[in-house]
Amino acid sequence: MKKYILIGVLCISSAAFAQVDDDMPDTRNKRDAYAKMGQKELKADLAVFTIAGIDESVGKLALDKVSPASFTATSMRFEGMNIKAAITTAPFDAAKHKLDYDEKYLVKIDRKTYYGGYGKVPGTQIGSISFIMDKDTVVIPPAAYADLYNLNLTYKDKKGNERTMNAVYFSKDKRTVYFYVFCKDGTGSYEVTWIIQDKKYLRRVLDYGIM
């Protein structure tokens, strides 16, 4: 029930945000989408906490999770259950990237489609991601986040308080860890989950335009 209430609040507060223009060409793809997952056990876990999986979440038990130990709009730190994780954002420097336009719309950065602020030059990019489990460093490769921009780590509720939906979740057997980040974005919010299994990066799950 709490999940549905929170999403309702986010939908209401998103009303003031601009949406993607109908005429804008969209090069983004759903290759990493929740709906395209074939790994049933992973998909069942993701349904518990992702927005994309909400229709399949009924009856599923909550997973153990670590909420942020501290957070701002540009940085977030997690610590607990033998993990330490952090994510930060940094300013986007357009001069250091190749920008491809379709008429007036930006459609690719460094020859790749991208997420966050789609159609315009983004203001921020991911500066760093770190994940340590049982003192072992898990490397999340740049390819898993280099196409993610305007990553807003927090949002404001109706009272103006800063909130976050982000967390680190654990499968029942604790072999699989899910590093979940939700980004409320003016061109359609997106969510990304980096999946770590047996202390190694496995894959990401990404859905956009969800709010």
Does residue 153 form part of some domain? Answer: yes
Q: Is the pLDDT of residue 3 over 60?
A: no
Does residue 24 form part of some domain? Answer: no
- Digit-coded pLDDT (tens) for 187-203: 668 999 999 999 999 99
Percent of the chain at pLDDT > 90 equals: 78
What average pLDDT does this structure show over 120-147? 97
- Tokens of residue 172, six digits: 């029942």
Q: Is the pLDDT of residue 108 over 90?
A: yes
pLDDT of residue 132: 98
**Which residues form the domain of 123?**
2-18+29-208
pLDDT of residue 23: 76
pLDDT of residue 13: 40
pLDDT of residue 186: 66
**Residue 26 and residue 19 in contact, taking contact as beta carbons nearer than 8 Å:** no
- Tokens of residue 161, six digits: 């308080």
Taking the model in full, what pTM does it have? 0.89
Q: Is the pLDDT of residue 1 over 60?
A: no
pLDDT tier, 184 (very low <50, low <70, confident <90, very high otherwise): confident
Q: Is the pLDDT of residue 159 over 60?
A: yes
Q: What string of DSSP letters covers 45-92?
A: HHHHH-STTGGG-TTPPPPEEE-EEEE-SSEEEEEETTEEEEEEEEE-
Does residue 165 form part of some domain? Answer: yes
Give dist(CA 185, CA 187) in Å, integer.
6
Does residue 182 form part of some domain? Answer: yes
User: Which residue has better confidence, 182 or 10?
Assistant: 182
Q: Is the pLDDT of residue 133 over 70?
A: yes
What average pLDDT does this structure show over 99-113? 95
Q: Bridge-partner residues for 205, per DSSP?
A: 193
What average pLDDT does this structure show over 47-60? 94
Does residue 23 form part of some domain? Answer: no
- Digit-coded pLDDT (tens) for 110-122: 999 999 989 999 9
**Maximum CA extent, the chain:** 50
35-74 per-residue burial string, b: 16 or more CB within 10 A, e: under 16: eebeeeebbebbbbbbbbbbebbeeeeebebbebeebeeb
Q: Is the pLDDT of residue 20 over 80?
A: no
How many structural domains does the chain have? Answer: 1
Does residue 178 form part of some domain? Answer: yes
